[in-house]
Amino acid sequence: MSTKRLYIKTFGCQMNVHDSERIGGLLRDEGYRLTEKPDEADMIIVNTCNIREKSEQKAYSDLGRFAMLKRDKPDLILGMAGCVAQKDGEKVLKRYKGLDLVFGSSNIENVPQMLQTITLNAQPVVMVLEPPGPPKTTPADRKDRVRAWVSIMEGCDRHCAFCVVPMTRGRERSRLSAEIVQEVSHLAEAGYKEITLLGQTVNSYGKSLEEGVDFADLLRMLNAVDGIERIRFMSPHPSDMNPKLIETMAELPKICEFLHLPLQSGSDAVLKRMGRGYTLNEYRPIVERLRRLVPDMAFSTDIIIGFPGETEDDFKKTLDAVAEFEYDNVYYFHYSQRPNTPAAQWEDQIPDEVKDARFARLSALEKALAREKNRRLIDTVQEVLVEGRSKRDRAKLTGRTRSNKLVHFEGDDREIGCLINVRITFASSTYLEGMRIEG
């Protein structure tokens, strides 16, 4: 089989990045190898995101640019994947005449079959229907050799009033636990040390299956895989952080002391209108229990600024909550009106200037908190999983602590992929520096 070149442009979250690895893995089996250069590609796939308006616009403008390449190279196969593809389906074909392939994230497993159809019929193919049954295991062409993403479920059965995901990724569907364990065992054999389990509400894993295995059970199964040293997951929903899961996290040695727990707002009134399904008083004990059982636990969160009807008082409650929970990291977003979501139609939309001003206040608080949290680590010894050379200083190695903090320190290439103990000597709001401990 002759080698063909594949260029994938990815927008959006880790889930999308990993979806691109899976598309790459399946197409590798069809004779395609990844390239960084779109102009030398035989196939280009734009893997899109539409969580906020900006990402959708960028995806469309890239697609337009790549469609021009077809003028000089009529055999180029051009595809659109991901959430915009799922949402717009056939409509995309009308907008871009040169497009050959449009598919949603739940149809990634069908990529080889779609490719065959295009080659045989020379007709564009659109596939945006969820296949029945649990998602199938697919190969993945992973860039990283130390840390791997593993998708354990797709879709989301919740309906937050701001969120487009249930429309673009469909109903919640979990993979079979035995297939996940097998994939992780293969990763361990290939030398991977860390896995991050991915799902939109990752801790509701198993609900769509009849296996009787829940997320805590799955963590226990994966903790037993030899060779894997660290387990992370993204993103849990607060309503599914049950006591069994909290205790399991505290008990299992490989589960990292880090939790990304989206809060979205610190105001109960806003949480209610968002349809998040919890109040601040229900969120708080999760953080408190985990901190009690795992004293070094680090937390990060997502906050939406300027959700329709958000008052100054609501926003102050968000600032108070962020300060109270002492997050190590906060990801905050301007609320973006997404088509066909309930909140987009509400009249009490917040003006951009108000969103901007609130954004700046949260940003200042977030940076101060992160700096303070990082400073507390000075003089402590942290276990770092070394990822590679630091981009800002080639003399240094870079890696992460179990609590997910970036650390730079001087070291040898042979240490890449190893767990090294590092004494922290310097802390900024975004990274740490340190010195390896001999022996």
Please give the residue ranges that form the binding site for ligand SAH (CB under 6 A).
Answer: 51-52, 162-163, 165, 200-201, 235, 262, 264, 302, 304, 333, 335-336, 338
Q: How far is the CB of 421 from ligand SAH (least distance, A)?
A: 32
Using rule CB under 6 A, residue 166 touches ligand F3S: yes
Binding test (CB under 6 A) with ligand F3S, winner from 163, 202, 263, 304: 163
Distances (CA, A) of 316 to 232, 311, 329: 31, 9, 18
Question: Binding residue for ligand F3S (CB under 6 A) from 48, 200, 301, 318?
Answer: 200
Interaction pattern, residues 222-261, with ligand F3S; x per rule: CB under 6 A? ---------------x------------------------
**Is 20 near ligand F3S (CB under 6 A)?**
no
| Closest CB 166 distance from ligand F3S, rounded Å | 5
- Nearest-approach distance from CB 247 to ligand F3S, in angstroms: 23
The answer to whether residue 303 forms part of the interface with ligand F3S (CB under 6 A) is: no
- Dig out the tokens for 2 from the structure: 């002759």
- Residue 166's binding partner among ligand F3S, ligand SAH, none (Cβ under 5 to 8 angstroms by kind) is ligand F3S
Total Cβ atoms within 10 A of residue 90: 10
- Which of 50, 201, 336, 390 is the binder for ligand F3S (CB under 6 A)? 201
Measured between alpha carbons, how far is 205 from 174 in angstroms, rounded to an integer?
6
Q: Which does 268 bind (CB under 5 to 8 A by kind): ligand SAH, ligand F3S, none?
A: none
Q: 146 vs 197, which CB is nearer to ligand SAH?
A: 197
Q: In angstroms, what is the C-alpha Rg of the chain?
A: 22
Residue 192 structure tokens: 């991977």
**C-alpha to C-alpha distance for 209 and 393, rounded to whole angstroms:** 48
Amino acid letter, residue 18: H
Strand locations in 35-134 (E): 43-48, 77-81, 101-103, 125-127
Cβ–Cβ under 8 Å, residues 323 and 316: no
Q: Is 392 helix (H, G, I), strand (E, B) or coil?
A: coil
Q: Which contacts (CB < 8 Å, 24+ apart) does range 275-283 have? A: 275/158, 275/159, 275/160, 275/161, 275/342, 276/160, 276/238, 276/239, 277/158, 277/237, 277/238, 277/239, 278/238, 278/239, 280/317, 280/321, 282/238, 282/239, 283/238
Stretch that binds ligand F3S, among 32-40, 134-142, 153-161, 359-367 (CB under 6 A): 153-161
Of 11-19, 64-72, 81-89, 157-165, which part binds ligand F3S (CB under 6 A)?
157-165
Interface with ligand F3S (CB under 6 A): 156, 158-160, 163, 165-166, 200-201, 237
